[in-house]
Amino acid sequence: MVNRGLVIALAKEPFREWLLSLPDPCDMSLEEINEDRTAYLVPEFEDDKQREKAIKKVFEMIFEDQLADWWTREEDWPQKRDLRAFRKWFDLRFHSVVEDLVDDVLVDE
């Protein structure tokens, strides 16, 4: 077991609308967008209060990573990227227990 929690950010309609507004629009359903999402290791948490504290520490990195996965020109990213916007754009799935089942050394790239 590792001393981390895990969160997956699932895109919601505002994210899809942003994709459609880009200079080279990407017309995909939310189901297609969310087919294989990045899982993020976050500070460990045991309750809702700790979980909220953990997401406040990392939401900006997750938000920007999600945008960059689809479009790298930052000038086309939404200007407002605060916690409220993040929650409007993404549905979060949390997991408090993360088991490492691989015997190899964990590599941080």
* CA-based nearest residue to 62, from 43, 88, 90: 90
In a domain, 38, yes or no: yes
**Model pLDDT, residue 49:** 95
In a domain, 51, yes or no: yes
**Model pLDDT, residue 109:** 81
**Model pLDDT, residue 51:** 95
**What's the whole-model pTM score?**
0.91
**Model pLDDT, residue 1:** 86
- Stretches in the chain below the pLDDT threshold 50: none
**Model pLDDT, residue 60:** 98
Number of domains in the chain: 1
Quick one: tokens of 35? 């087919």
- Summarised one tens digit per residue, pLDDT across range 49-72 is 999 999 999 999 999 999 999 999
**Model pLDDT, residue 31:** 97
**Model pLDDT, residue 8:** 98
Q: Domain span at residue 89? A: 4-94
**Model pLDDT, residue 107:** 86
Quick one: tokens of 60? 């900006």
- Asked if 98 and 2 touch (Cβ cutoff 8 Å), the reply is yes
Place of tokens 């297609």: 32
Q: CA-to-CA distance for 38 and 67, rounded, in angstroms? A: 12
* Burial class for 15, CB neighbours closer than 10 Å (0-12, 13-18, 19+): buried
In a domain, 102, yes or no: no
In a domain, 76, yes or no: yes
